[in-house]
Amino acid sequence: MVLLFNKTVISHVIFRELLHKLSLGRLILKITHAFATAVTLTSSPKSVGDIEKQVPRRISGADALMDALRRHGVDTIFGYPGGAILPIYDAIHKAEEQGWLKHILVRHEQGGSHAADGFARATGRVGVCFGTSGPGATNLVTGIATAQMDSVPMVVVTGQVPRPAIGTDAFQEIDIFGVTLPIVKHSWVVRDASDLASVVAQAFLIASSGRPGPVLIDIPKDVGQEFFDYFPVEPGSVIPPGFRLTDAPDSSAISAALDLIEKAQRPLMYVGGGVISAGGHENLAAFVKRHKLPVTTTLMGKGAFDERDPLSVGMLGMHGTAYANFAVTECDLLIAVGARFDDRVTGKLDTFAPRAKVIHFEIDPAEVGKNRRPEVVVLGDVGVALAQILELSKQRDVKPKTLSWLARIDLWKERYPLMSPPKEGQIYPQEVLLAIRDLAPSAFLTTDVGQHQMWAAQYLRNAPRQWASSAGLGTMGYGMPAALGVQVALPEELVVCIAGDASILMNIQELGTIAQYKLPIKVVIVNNRWQGMVRQWQESFYEERYSATDMLPGMPDFMALAKAFGVGGVLITEREDLQRGLEKAFASPEPMLIDIHVRRGENCYPMVPPGKSNAEMVGLPAHPELAMETTRNCPDCGASTAHEHRYCPACGISL
């Protein structure tokens, strides 16, 4: 029996079949399986170098998967076990014993996918999550879609029923490959254990290159159990069929873009999450300061440019600042960098930057011209493109023409600032965010989805990769598990999750994960006892018919809930306790759930109503002049002309 096991020509599967035919019984099968496991464990290397000395090596598919992940720098996995993925979890057990892997047991697979997402956003590394077949796999779908919409690199590994059972409607079988086709960059069903190393290498390359996104690897149970001659595959050594690395930005397009920027009187930088993914924030800051360009960011782009800088106009769009929305309506050149002209940004599309030429810096060709046709396209890595345009700019004599434009924006900032909450009555939700901004200026921030998310985007300030929020999909329940992923990745940092009382209940079970691993996350519930954003829309557009949005009936005692999970709690209902309560919670080395009761009927303003232009906001502190004026003055000679005219009738300069 020992001789048979040491002969590489006889596979473990064949040996098992032989024993079955000889009718030696289940006892012998157990003995041989234990022996095979012992051989694998005793030959397990202590380092990658040791592995290479022993290639090829006879191991199981599950062990091959773990070795491949290790070679790609994976040291953290978020997941939840189940029947079909048990062979892989057995390999996880060995990896944890060897000391190179930490597995975080979440309480729901969706929590695992959001945690991997938060891990990736905070670090720039690929997040990894595991789930079993059937409901385990379908529970991951929302997290996969969230990552796809927000371009987050993630590798998702699911267990699958054994190969002979695929297509038979076996217990907990689901075609997760088919289910997720529209929401992944690529996916595989691994039907041969010898393909695992190559698939992992391809998965990490695809997830992290170009426009990042999630990929799926579905592994049948018997593939994980199968023994084979393992040949390691190094990162980047396998190029998937049809795969192309991103081309370098075209130098003529860079030059054309700079030409337009130098001529513009009212330019506006419109910055999205692509700048953060590409690590282009430093070159962005240097370029805009050199050319005196105002900067607005999307929800995904928060942190790409310092919002305390005078050139910042904050976030634009449906709940953006008034001055950002006026600026985008009035600009004569819109410079989109790593942004995709999302409907929550543009409002009524044909009134979005209606008088502006457009430059689009973009890595994904599918986004170019999809919603707005640009005059100049700079296709390629936006980090590289920003470095190139900055270098080209340094070769020219820069004479910004934006002083009068910046003065006009400053006037809008004075007239239409974000609300400064009154100091009487119940606590205003805006007060909560301002207090957090003062007490935790360098915290890593995550949010759930709703009014609190928009208030957080309006009032909080953060550096690159210190903001994680579900922007494209708008996933309620995202914030706390995402914070879990951030805190695991960055154990020494302060991590604050801004949640709503409705959103937090979507994945409240992850308090158990936070408690188990003693993660010192501070979860702040902005509690107005409503589904706040839905209620605001019902008030504004459905004649105050509040259908199924009141969360007060059935509202849990969050302090009792926190205690039940073993998490500390702070309840704040009075203004005089707000600062002191938050200080106490943030200073604690333990995880804390902070329940802050705020005014029930407060709305999030400004707001661009559906079907309106960005200039037609409601909820401003005073009725604004429309940004789309009928006349304008020449910045050189002062002559007045119709707003749509592109040249001054008096001196002839381009307006």
- Active-site residue set: 109, 171-172, 221, 533
Residue 254 near residue 389 (C-beta atoms within 8 A)? yes
Sorted by sequence, the CB contacts under 8 Å of residue 616 that are 6+ apart come out as 347, 608, 609, 626
Measured CA distances, 603 to 382, 474, 520, 593 (Å): 36, 18, 31, 24
Distance between CA atoms of residues 544 and 537, nearest Å = 9
454 is written with which tokens? 């928009």
Distance between CA atoms of residues 143 and 482, nearest Å = 10
Sorted by sequence, the CB contacts under 8 Å of residue 501 that are 6+ apart come out as 525, 526, 527, 528, 529, 530, 551, 555, 558
Residue 113 near residue 140 (C-beta atoms within 8 A)? yes
Residue 553, preceding peptide bond in cis (omega within 30° of 0):
no
Distance between CA atoms of residues 521 and 130, nearest Å = 23
> How many Cα atoms occupy the beta-carbon half-sphere of 222 within 13 Å?
10
Nearest in space to 594 (alpha carbons), one of 579, 614, 610, 576: 579
Distance between CA atoms of residues 146 and 552, nearest Å = 28
**Residue spans of beta strands (DSSP E) within 482-529:** 495-500, 522-527
19 is written with which tokens? 């024993």
Sorted by sequence, the CB contacts under 8 Å of residue 62 that are 6+ apart come out as 87, 88, 90, 91, 224, 225
Residue 609 near residue 318 (C-beta atoms within 8 A)? no
For CA atoms 103, 107, 112, 115, give the dihedral sign: negative
What DSSP state is assigned to residue 211?
A: S
Distance between CA atoms of residues 232 and 655, nearest Å = 62
